Amino acid sequence: MATIIHFTKMHGAGNDYIYVNTLLYNIPDVKAASMTWSAYHTGIGSDGLVLIGKPTTDDADFSMHIYNADGSEAMMCGNASRCIGKYLYEKKITDKTTIRLETLSGIKVLNLHVNDGIVESVTVDMLEPQLENEKQLAIEGGSMTEGEIKTEDRTFAGTFVSMGNPHFVIFGEELSTEEIKKYGRLLEYNSIFPERCNIEFANKCQDGSIRMRVWERGSGITMACGTGACATAVAAAVTKRAGRKSRIVMDGGALDIEWSEKDNHIYMTGPAEFVFEGDINL
């Protein structure tokens, strides 16, 4: 007999995921469910599957586990964390406007900006960025600022930033969608990244904002990436292209990023939206 699972589809700046409350529902094979449900033509369609559940520590209120469309588990997603804040509050699972969310890359604090019972935006404390990580960047010292990586027929200069998950941010000429598909995949699987990597292609705009397109590890081109926006802002500051505050404009919308001088944490502010709900057989 089939098990019916209730799901909610949400997006943050176009980065869309399927959300399931595992306080109510159990999904035995999460990887298979993520791959099947994420398919746009034969499933619900999404960038992946997000599970909301109990934390493993008293220091957090809830937990998040996120699976990409290819079934691989991600450490963190900024857009998904904002959606979880809106989900929990507007579905009256919590009345807190400050929520501590346990992720594989640490506990993230969500500050909900509420107006008349509606969460209009969420600011997430994304903790400190790492510019050195030998587990995620296989070179001595584990750091790279505008360093070069060769692909089959092209060399890219970029900056490595870890937001818990690895990112390689490339500033330069604007690439076509087909070029991003080609070189994003080649760079994601480059041997210099032992855990694979998220790849950001960015350009500084005349109005001071930064235009960025992203190839997400495990999902391909997506409309937005929260950790990618944070990594891009950090890379822009490190390479003197921007200050400590940046607006990152992606295909699905814009996020405001602040790299605080006070605590060295990254604060990401942006929207979260419900798309639709439904039931699916497991």
As annotated, the active-site residues are 77, 225
Which among 71, 270, 266 is positioned nearest to 162, based on CA atoms?
Answer: 266
Distances (CA, A) of 254 to 78, 198, 225, 227: 13, 18, 10, 13
Which among 93, 82, 81 is positioned nearest to 119, based on CA atoms?
Answer: 82
Burial class (CB in 10 A: 0-12, 13-18, 19+), 276: exposed
Residues 38 and 35: their CA atoms lie apart, in Å, by 5
Which among 126, 122, 114 is positioned nearest to 83, based on CA atoms?
Answer: 122
Which among 63, 73, 4 is positioned nearest to 32, based on CA atoms?
Answer: 73
